[in-house]
């Protein structure tokens, strides 16, 4: 404690359970850990962990909760979520994290009980984003939201966001320069957001020329607000076409409100044709709604918005207690001296008040500094670079330079760490490297981004897929690297230079290693070398001698971080990089060969099932069906929360050349698609999606929709912008001709069919994500619907989807679960029929829909011994599902949506059911493979029994997992094994999903 600072005065008797006053020093440990970087459409997360002060998470992309379970990281005590940007890339994993965190306590305290759980902070738009997902997380939540006000200058350093006995967190808001190198690029980007911007190409070029660098400013932090059950300004509106009703946030006066209040479409941000469709005009006029098509914001990919970086100034570690001074002052040995060491004043029996600074030496280790830097675009980078020593981080950079120039010993210097969350293409930019070169030697740098150097974050699921692929490569295809491989990336730091280039894939490994190329002018420099073996950066002298990595990092170092990498900040002796929690690269061929050698009987059994001769006369439902007709791909097969082998629900119907559609879209569906198809093919499929259908409002069935929508809009808009740039480069057409060509470059809205309440959520997200869609409520398509039909432009989107995919039927079926729950019946023009139950109890309407179906996909959350739980939670047991299949006469049935208590599959007797199969993640079922598909159940069961001993050692500890989708609670450990089921072990309480 600084000399002269007045501390809280307490008597010796009252001291015991009181906290130390703010500003006092403590002995504590702190480390940073990098999480989630195998997909480049999500921001990685940085977790700052204090052994005595909880956890702080910077950014929470999709799949974070599954990754934390994979790494066996407990999700309790996350006190703050700090976001650098407000978008699905950085925030899509937050709802799942909040749902999971809130269910740990047996007394249901947390979000689900309306209790304050944590603080969420970030740039402008944060409150709108939280208001969007609160509709399906819980209506009674009381999260503290701290939204940074927009800066009026190039950057803004706010007051302290966090100020406690361990650290101070200071947000720094940075604006992009808004100055583009090519005015035509700006015009193309502005134009391709749609005609709704209200100006033509010539005006857009003028706007681009007018945009310039803004000045520097400072301001106070934004006010702290609490999210109420009803959003501020919200109003209850009724749909004038179909009776759809829901809470819709009141929009700004200049926003297009017609489509919002009619509950069918939000596409004004991109489409030139369907902003106010002609069919909607009578409705707009009759309701007297505002139809001004000028949006209040432009999407983040076209004109970058403000970003918030964070400076964490840690408290120092206290110095030693001065016993001689204590003796002189008359402080007796015992609890009084302990109180002084904890920063508390004590009153002696003589009445003398002794302050801590009188008996404590100065801080032994000064407080470290951690900078979390995210510059998502070159425009943000230009802001930082153009300001030089007057930039947003100049204060902390100057302190480091002053200290480096002094004679202060290593122990007395601050440890400074810069965590780089900037995308790979920005980090590799020459301007970024030039900026880093100005920072001096006082910083350790950790680069956190996706790329070819990252291995899968779902290691156990990937290992299982390798083994399943060995059993049947068609049913269980090999997985692909889910990130784009960066062909060239160079990171140059002061006193260190290396160019990283990914190795070419050899066809055997599903990850890439990196080969360092030393710069020619490094004779007197250190060379940072990345090795796949160590998975961290090591420092090698140019002369060939090696230094200890920890010592090098204390001086100045760089880590190209991989998933799980840690950087210890305190205590002093451990600080630096730590790769022990980084998984080694999966050696695909070695895993495959070892599995086949140890499980030859299982492999033979599986291949025999697939080699079973096809019937001479195919069943009527498969007559004339070829392999290019339909493939059913399971991206998620677990109930409620992701487990180590399964993700939450999502099914992709691949119509090959015709495109595809999704049935449910749980969190990280996009990541699963990239793991299945690879980044390039997956993004192509996302652009070609015709429809996303959602069964009901539980979060595990639609939590991945919003990231998918935003990425799809970005991909299509970038594609359109590229086309427009090509046209602009080829000629300079007149203003009128350019205006006429805008419609061809507009982004086509995606058709979303789902429960009525989903539109309220989509409308909320649309305020910050700007992703175009047409919405059609499930109930408008049921066979007995007699309400007012949807607007013609939405109905036309539905008909266009049927034509494109050559579908005869796409009809929701009401089922028994929560209100507005539906199954779906899909029929192709060639005669096949697929029925998916969604979440449901056995329902007669589903039986009728699946009558003589080619394929029935039915949920089987519980095993038969949990019938009472299934009834209470409105789910089905395995026998329930098979009974529906028998009553419907379905040709084949696939069971899915298993409780996470079963790591692989529940135990049930399949000997009498040769028509039933089990779904696994990434399983790809071609209609032509249905005849032999049930034969895979027995080899799968045998495989899981043999692997059980190994997996049981890896099971998550009790309390580390919880099922929580849509406000449902799980109190057991969430990992009941097949062996436990077979042994008749007592059942825990199963969560509702």
Both tokens assigned to 137:
């997380």
- What's the pLDDT at 722? 79
Burial class of 14 by CB neighbour count within 10 A (0 to 12, 13 to 18, 19+): exposed
The answer as to whether 418 is a domain residue is no
Share of the chain above pLDDT 70, in %: 67
Mean pLDDT of 676-688: 95
- Which pLDDT value is given to residue 164? 87
- What pLDDT is stored for residue 226 in this prediction? 33
Q: What is the pLDDT of residue 78?
A: 87
- Burial class, 405, CB count within 10 angstroms (exposed 0-12 / middle 13-18 / buried 19+): exposed
Q: Find, among 498, 399, 384, 485, the residue nearest to 432 by Cα.
A: 384
Q: How many residues can be counted in the chain?
A: 993
80: which residues sit within 8 A by CB, 6+ positions away?
A: 56, 57, 118, 119, 120, 121, 162, 169
Please, which pLDDT band fits residue 142 given cuts at 50, 70 and 90? low
The model's pLDDT over 852-878, given as tens digits with 9 standing for 90+, comes to 999 999 999 999 999 999 999 999 999
| 117/603: higher pLDDT | 603
CA 973 to chain CA centroid, nearest Å: 24
The pLDDT, as a whole number, for residue 510 is: 28
Give 896's DSSP letter. E
In sequence order, what are the residues at sequence separation of 6 or more whose Cβ sits closer than 8 angstroms to the Cβ of residue 150?
Answer: 123, 124, 173, 175, 306
| Whether the bond into 309 is cis, omega within 30 of 0 | no
Element (H, E) at 65: helix 64-70
Backbone φ and ψ of 285, nearest 5°:
-65, -40
Distance CA 940, CA 37 (A): 31
473 closest CA partner among 596, 637, 586, 647: 596
pLDDT at 506 over 60: no
Q: For residues 624 and 906, give the distance between their C-alpha atoms in angstroms, rounded to a whole number.
A: 35
Give the pLDDT confidence score for residue 504 in this predicted structure.
32
pLDDT of residue 952: 63
Residue 934 structure tokens: 């049930």
Residue 277: what pLDDT?
Answer: 32
- Which stretch of 268-282, 568-582, 675-689 has the lowest confidence by average pLDDT? 268-282
The stretch 790-797 carries a mean pLDDT of 92
In 614-700, the DSSP E strands lie at 631-636, 650-654, 660-665, 689-693
User: How crowded is residue 459: how many other Cβ atoms within 10 Å of its Cβ?
Assistant: 18
CA 271 to CA 742: how far, in whole Å? 9
pLDDT (average), residues 238-264: 32
Q: Domain for residue 449, yes or no?
A: no
Interval 75-93 mean pLDDT: 92
- Residue 484 falls within a domain, yes or no? no
- Residue 363's pLDDT is 66
Using the 3D structure, point to which of 331, 364, 397 is the last residue of a domain.
364
Output the CA torsion sign for 291, 297, 302, 303.
Answer: positive
Across the strands, what pairs with 56?
48, 80
Q: Is 204 among the domain residues?
A: no
Residue that wins the pLDDT comparison between 685 and 70: 685
Instruction: Flag whether 450 is in a domain.
Output: no
Residue range 274-324, pLDDT digits in tens: 333 333 333 223 222 222 222 323 333 345 689 999 999 998 877 778 888
Instruction: Find, among 933, 930, 934, 936, the residue nearest to 623 by Cα.
Output: 930
CA separation for the pair 890, 848 (Å, rounded): 11
Q: Are 188 and 163 in contact (CB under 8 A)?
A: no
Tokens representing 3 are: 């000399």
Question: Does residue 808 lie in a domain region?
Answer: yes
Q: What is the pLDDT of residue 24?
A: 61
pTM of the model: 0.78
Comparing 964 with 379, the larger pLDDT belongs to 379
At residue 482, the pLDDT reads 79
Both tokens of 567, joined, read 């950087």
Bridging pattern class, strands 144-147 and 155-157: unpaired
- Give the number of domains in the chain: 2
Q: Which own/partner contact pairs does 586-592 have at CB distance under 8 Å and 24+ positions apart?
A: 586/455, 586/456, 586/459, 586/462, 586/463, 586/466, 586/509, 586/510, 586/511, 587/509, 588/466, 588/478, 588/508, 588/509, 588/510, 589/508, 591/463, 591/466, 591/467, 592/466, 592/467, 592/469, 592/470
pLDDT category of residue 116 using cuts at 50, 70 and 90: low
Closest to 622 (Cα-Cα) out of 832, 391, 901: 832
Place 716 in a pLDDT band, splitting at 50, 70 and 90. very high
Domain assignment present for residue 559? The answer is no
CA 800 – CA 812 distance, rounded (Å):
17
Q: Output the pLDDT for position 222.
A: 30
SS3 per residue for 15-61: CCCCCCCCCCCCCCCEEEEEECCCCCCCCCEEEEEECCCEEEEECCC
Confidence of residue 665 (pLDDT cuts 50, 70, 90): very high
Q: pLDDT: is 710 or 18 the higher one?
A: 710
Contact between 51 and 27 under an 8 Å Cβ cutoff? The reply is no
Please tell me the least confidently modeled range out of 103-112, 168-177, 520-529. 520-529
What confidence category does residue 503 fall into, taking pLDDT thresholds of 50, 70 and 90?
A: very low
Interval 533-562 mean pLDDT = 42
Compute the half-sphere exposure of residue 214: CA atoms within 13 Å on the CB side of its CA.
19
Our CA angle for 468, 472, 473, nearest 5°, is 90
Q: Indicate if the pLDDT at residue 778 is higher than 90.
A: yes
- The residue with greater pLDDT, 789 or 4, is 789
Single out the residue of 188, 182, 183 nearest to residue 201, CA to CA.
188
Q: Where are the alpha helices (DSSP H) in 363-444?
A: 378-386, 394-405, 424-427, 430-437
Neighbours of 232 (CB within 10 A): 11
CA distance 770 to 786: 33
Q: What letter would DSSP give residue 514?
A: E
Strand boundaries in 141-220, DSSP class E:
144-147, 155-157, 162-163, 167-174
Contact 852/890 with Cβ under 8 angstroms?
yes
Q: pLDDT tens-digit profile of 424-438?
A: 889 888 899 888 888
Q: How high does pLDDT run on average in the chain?
A: 73
When mean pLDDT is compared across 169-173, 586-590, 755-759, the lowest value belongs to 586-590
Say which residue, 700 or 974, is predicted with more confidence: 700
- Choice between 35 and 247, residue whose per-residue pLDDT is larger: 35
Residue 739: both structure tokens together: 């205006």
Q: In the predicted model, is pLDDT for residue 122 greater than 70?
A: yes
pLDDT digit string (tens) for 338-372?
A: 888 777 789 998 889 998 878 877 767 788 999 99
Q: How far apart are CA 395 and CA 408, in angstroms?
A: 19
Count other Cβ atoms within 10 Å, centred on residue 255: 17
Give the position of tokens 């004779």: 523
Instruction: Report angle CA 863, 864, 870 to the nearest 5 degrees.
Output: 75
Alpha-carbon Rg of the chain, whole angstroms?
Answer: 30
Residue 580 contacts by C-beta under 8 Å, 6 or more apart in sequence? Answer: 566
What is the per-residue pLDDT for 20? 47
**What is the C-alpha separation between 424 and 360, in angstroms, rounded?**
46
User: What integer pLDDT is reported at residue 518 of this predicted model?
Assistant: 31
- Averaged over 578-595, what is the pLDDT? 90
Whole-angstrom distance, CA of residue 700 vs CA of residue 702: 6
Residue 495 in this model has a pLDDT that exceeds 60: no
- CA gap 834, 679 in Å, rounded: 28
Can you read off the two tokens belonging to residue 62? 């999709």
Distance from C-alpha of 452 to C-alpha of 487, rounded to nearest angstrom: 9
In three-state secondary structure terms, 262 is helix
Query: Cα separations (Å) of 992 from 354, 663, 702, 706?
Result: 57, 21, 16, 24
Dist. CA 429–CA 554, nearest whole Å: 26
pLDDT of residue 746: 64
The string of pLDDT tens digits covering residues 919-976 is: 999 999 999 999 999 999 999 988 988 887 666 655 544 333 333 333 333 333 333 3
Distance of alpha carbon 821 from alpha carbon 973, whole angstroms: 28
Contacts (Cβ under 8 Å, ≥6 apart) of 600: none
Give residue 352's domain range: 318-364
Pairing of strands 496-502, 514-517: antiparallel
Residue 726 pLDDT grade (very low, low, confident, very high; cuts 50, 70, 90) = low
Q: Which of 306, 129, 304, 126 is nearest to 223 (CA)?
A: 126
Structure tokens at 96: 């799942």
- Note whether residue 888 is domain-resident: yes
Phi-psi region of 194 (alpha: psi -120 to 50; beta: other; left: phi over 0): left
């Amino acid at each position: 404690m600084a000399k002269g600072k007045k501390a809280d005065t307490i008597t010796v008797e009252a001291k015991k359970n009181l906290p130390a006053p703010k500003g006092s020093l403590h002995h504590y440990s702190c480390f940073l850990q990098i999480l989630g970087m195998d997909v480049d459409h999500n921001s990685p997360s940085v977790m700052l962990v204090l052994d005595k002060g909880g956890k702080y998470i910077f950014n929470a992309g999709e799949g974070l909760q599954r990754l934390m379970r994979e790494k066996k990281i407990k999700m309790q005590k996350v006190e703050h979520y700090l976001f650098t940007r407000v978008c699905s890339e950085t925030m899509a994993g937050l709802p799942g994290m909040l749902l999971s965190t809130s269910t740990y306590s047996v007394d249901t305290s947390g979000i689900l009980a309306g209790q304050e759980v944590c603080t969420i902070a970030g740039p402008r738009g944060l409150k709108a984003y939280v208001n969007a997902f609160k509709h399906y997380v819980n209506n009674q939540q009381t999260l503290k939201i701290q939204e940074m006000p927009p800066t009026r200058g190039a950057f803004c350093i706010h007051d302290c966001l966090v100020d406690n006995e361990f650290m101070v967190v200071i947000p720094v808001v940075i604006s992009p320069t808004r100055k583009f190198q090519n005015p035509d690029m700006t015009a193309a980007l502005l134009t391709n957001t749609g005609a709704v911007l209200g100006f033509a190409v010539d005006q857009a070029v003028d706007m681009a020329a007018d945009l310039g660098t803004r000045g520097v400013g400072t301001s106070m932090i934004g006010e702290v607000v609490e999210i109420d059950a009803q959003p501020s300004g919200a109003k209850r509106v009724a749909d004038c076409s179909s009776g759809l009703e829901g809470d819709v946030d009141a929009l700004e006066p200049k926003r297009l409100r017609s489509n919002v209040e009619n509950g069918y479409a939000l596409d004004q941000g991109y489409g030139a044709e369907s902003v106010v469709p002609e069919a909607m005009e009578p409705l707009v006029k009759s309701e007297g709604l505002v139809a001004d098509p000028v949006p209040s914001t432009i999407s983040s990919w076209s004109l970058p918005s403000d970003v918030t970086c964070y400076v964490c100034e840690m408290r120092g570690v206290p110095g030693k207690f001065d016993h001689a001074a204590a003796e002189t002052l008359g402080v007796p040995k015992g609890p009084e001296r302990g109180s002084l060491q904890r920063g508390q004043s004590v009153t002696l029996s003589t009445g003398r008040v002794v302050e801590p600074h009188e008996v404590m030496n100065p801080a032994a280790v000064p407080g470290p500094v951690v900078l979390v830097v995210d510059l998502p675009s070159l425009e943000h980078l230009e802001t930082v670079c153009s300001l030089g020593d007057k930039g947003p981080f100049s204060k902390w950079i100057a302190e480091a330079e002053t200290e480096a120039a002094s004679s202060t010993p290593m122990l007395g210097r601050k440890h400074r760490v810069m965590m780089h969350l900037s995308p790979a293409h920005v980090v590799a930019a020459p301007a970024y490297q030039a900026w880093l070169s100005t920072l001096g030697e006082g910083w350790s740098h950790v680069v956190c981004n996706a790329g070819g150097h990252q291995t899968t974050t779902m290691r156990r699921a990937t290992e299982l897929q390798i083994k399943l692929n060995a059993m049947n490569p068609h049913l269980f295809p090999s997985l692909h690297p889910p990130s784009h491989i960066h062909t060239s990336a160079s990171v140059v730091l002061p006193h260190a230079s290396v160019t990283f280039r990914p190795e070419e894939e050899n066809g055997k490994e599903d990850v890439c290693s990196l080969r360092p190329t030393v710069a020619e002018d490094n004779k007197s420099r250190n060379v940072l070398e990345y090795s796949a073996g160590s998975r961290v950066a090591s420092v090698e002298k140019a002369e060939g001698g090696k230094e200890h990595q920890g010592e090098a990092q204390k001086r100045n170092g760089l880590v190209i971080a991989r998933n799980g990498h840690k950087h210890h900040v305190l205590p002093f002796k451990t600080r630096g990089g730590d790769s022990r929690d980084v998984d080694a690269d999966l050696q695909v061929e070695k895993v495959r060969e070892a599995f086949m050698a140890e499980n030859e009987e299982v492999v033979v059994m599986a291949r025999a099932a697939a080699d079973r001769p096809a019937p001479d006369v195919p069943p009527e439902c498969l007559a004339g069906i070829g392999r290019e007709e339909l493939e059913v791909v399971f991206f998620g097969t677990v109930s409620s929360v992701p487990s180590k082998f399964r993700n939450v629900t999502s099914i992709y119907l691949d119509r090959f050349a015709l495109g595809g559609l999704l049935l449910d879209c749980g969190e990280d569906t996009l990541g699963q698609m990239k793991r299945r198809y690879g980044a390039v093919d997956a993004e192509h499929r996302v652009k070609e999606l015709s429809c996303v259908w959602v069964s009901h409002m539980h979060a595990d069935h639609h939590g991945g929709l919003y990231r998918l929508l935003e990425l799809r809009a970005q991909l299509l808009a970038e594609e359109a912008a590229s086309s427009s740039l090509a046209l602009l480069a080829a000629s300079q057409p007149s203003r009128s001709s350019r205006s006429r060509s805008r419609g061809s470059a507009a982004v086509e809205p995606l058709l979303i069919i789902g429960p009525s309440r989903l539109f309220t959520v989509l409308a909320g997200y649309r305020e910050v994500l700007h992703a175009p869609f047409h919405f059609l409520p499930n109930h408008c398509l049921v066979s007995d619907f007699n309400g007012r039909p949807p607007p013609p432009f939405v109905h036309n989107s539905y008909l266009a989807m049927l034509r494109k995919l050559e579908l005869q039927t796409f009809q929701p079926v009401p089922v028994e679960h929560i209100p507005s729950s539906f199954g779906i019946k899909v029929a192709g023009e060639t005669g096949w029929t697929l029925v998916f139950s969604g979440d449901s109890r056995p329902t007669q309407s589903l039986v009728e829909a699946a009558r003589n179906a080619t394929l029935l996909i039915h949920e089987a959350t519980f095993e038969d011994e949990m019938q009472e739980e299934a009834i209470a939670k409105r789910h089905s047991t395995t026998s329930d599902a098979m009974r529906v299949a028998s009553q419907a006469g379905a040709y084949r049935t696939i069971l899915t949506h298993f409780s996470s208590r079963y790591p692989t599959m529940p135990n049930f007797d399949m000997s009498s059911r040769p028509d039933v199969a089990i779904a696994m993640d990434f399983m790809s079922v071609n209609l032509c493979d249905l005849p032999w598909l049930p034969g895979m159940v027995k080899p799968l069961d045998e495989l899981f029994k043999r692997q059980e001993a190994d997996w049981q050692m890896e099971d998550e500890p009790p309390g580390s997992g919880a099922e929580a989708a849509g406000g449902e609670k799980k109190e057991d450990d969430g990992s009941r094994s097949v062996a436990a089921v077979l042994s008749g072990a007592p059942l825990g309480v199963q969560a509702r999903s």
